[in-house]
Amino acid sequence: MPTHQSPTQPRFSGRVAGAYLQPLLQVVADHGVALSELAVTAELSPRALSPLPDALDADAYVRLLDAGASLTHLPHFGLQVGERVRLGTYSVYGLILLSCRDFGEVLRQTLRFESLAHDLGHSTLQVMDDSACYAWHSRYPHASRHLAESVFAGVRVFGNWLAGRELPPAQVAFTHAQPDDCSEHLRIFGPDVHFDASTNCARFDAALLSLPVPNADVGLSPVLQQHAATLMREKMRANAEADIVTQVRARIAHNLAHNRAGLVAVAQDLNQSTRTLQRKLSDAGSSFQQLLDATRQSLAQTYLSQRDLSLADIAFLLGFQDQSAFTHAFREWTQDSPGNYREKLAQKST
């Protein structure tokens, strides 16, 4: 049998809260694009966005940004999404910001709780003498510019709203290349905008950190922070449960062609008893057989797009005894034969 590279191992995708989706969906809807069309373009189910989900994979959100930009033909789609940010966009985290005494506290709580809104990246703050630097580190460094621009436009708009006035312009830098038209960047951020930088960041006078938040309900801050801390713990627990699913799928994918993708072998690889592994998967809403089938199906569909692999090769790579067993399983997964599925892929690519 031929030797092939190991398939890309699945990884846990972070989440984006449903509320954080709303600005993006509003821009798309305002330009006459149906949410079902947006979803399909982003490789989601036609009904994935209506009703608004409680949360969505961060990977899917990044695809939605690009899909929205393509369907609306807006060159500054990310900036427009950021300008639609409101208090409710950040859910509980937004309420915490509204209860902060000053902007220094706003940024400190942002560092602590921003993942309640999304897992798209994380913020840092450095203060050096009279200068402060807020940076946002994307978990998707190869994403289009719409992601970083939506984040910074949202920070700018929400900061102005918190302050009750236009904040002084900051020196804003983006890691992506300069677009042909920067007029919208200058309108939103001011005259000091740079591109091809090493970090997405905004530099400003450190005195701004002591600027009070007008009408801040400081008394609510401890209650809101306690509630947010509880939500963070629940999210971490959910991530840990999802992570066991990711670990199992990764081991299955790695072991399939070596005939070691059974429950006992995978449990040994993860230093767990079979009973413990089954319990953890059950707690995460899954089972070993479901993950084995899902991993095999995903890899099968990837392999079928590679014309140099015969059906016998694919059966071997997926750990089936023979081609007939693979064909039977593929029909159960997709109600189609591997050969027909491959032909359909070929027709789409022509």
Considering the domain architecture, whether residues 183 and 139 belong to the same structural domain is answered as yes
User: What tokens appear for 193 in the block?
Assistant: 């905008």
Query: Looking at residue 346, what is its pLDDT?
Result: 80
Considering the domain architecture, whether residues 336 and 193 belong to the same structural domain is answered as no
Domain that holds residue 289: 229-349
Q: What CATH number is given to the structural domain containing 182?
A: 3.90.1520.10
Residue 3 lies in a domain: no
Task: Classify each residue of 278-303 as buried b or exposed e, where b means 16 or more C-beta atoms within 10 Å of its C-beta.
Answer: eebbeebebebeebbebbbbebbbeb
Considering the domain architecture, whether residues 33 and 146 belong to the same structural domain is answered as yes
Query: Looking at residue 349, what is its pLDDT?
Result: 62
Average pLDDT in the chain: 89
Low pLDDT (below 70) residues in the chain:
1-13, 238-242, 349-350
Considering the domain architecture, whether residues 145 and 250 belong to the same structural domain is answered as no
Considering the domain architecture, whether residues 166 and 89 belong to the same structural domain is answered as yes
Give, in order, the Cα–Cα distances in Å from 222 to each of 99, 107, 117, 225.
9, 16, 19, 5
Cβ atoms of residues 64 and 19 within 8 Å: no
| HSE toward the beta carbon, residue 260, CA cutoff 13 A | 11
Considering the domain architecture, whether residues 38 and 186 belong to the same structural domain is answered as yes
Considering the domain architecture, whether residues 114 and 90 belong to the same structural domain is answered as yes
Residue 222 lies in a domain: no
Residue 5 lies in a domain: no
Please confirm whether the linkage preceding 46 is cis (ω < 30° from 0).
no
Give, in order, the Cα–Cα distances in Å from 176 to each of 59, 147, 194.
19, 11, 9
Identify the domain boundary among 195, 216, 237: 216
Residue 260 lies in a domain: yes
Residue 178 lies in a domain: yes
Query: Looking at residue 308, what is its pLDDT?
Result: 80
Q: What CATH number is given to the structural domain containing 327?
A: 1.10.10.60
| HSE toward the beta carbon, residue 97, CA cutoff 13 A | 26
Considering the domain architecture, whether residues 161 and 101 belong to the same structural domain is answered as yes
For the stretch 115-139, pLDDT in tens is 899 999 999 999 998 999 999 999 9
Residue type, 349: S
Considering the domain architecture, whether residues 89 and 153 belong to the same structural domain is answered as yes
Considering the domain architecture, whether residues 209 and 321 belong to the same structural domain is answered as no
Q: What is the largest CA-CA distance in the chain?
A: 72
Q: Domain count of the chain?
A: 2
Considering the domain architecture, whether residues 25 and 100 belong to the same structural domain is answered as yes
Residue 46 lies in a domain: yes
Residue 322 lies in a domain: yes
Considering the domain architecture, whether residues 206 and 252 belong to the same structural domain is answered as no
User: Distance from CA of residue 348 to its chain's centroid?
Assistant: 28
Cβ atoms of residues 93 and 154 within 8 Å: no
Q: At 113, give phi and psi (nearest 5°).
A: -120, 5
Query: Looking at residue 240, what is its pLDDT?
Result: 66
Identify the domain boundary among 188, 216, 244: 216
Residue 2 lies in a domain: no
What global pTM score does this model have? 0.68
Identify the domain boundary among 162, 189, 216: 216
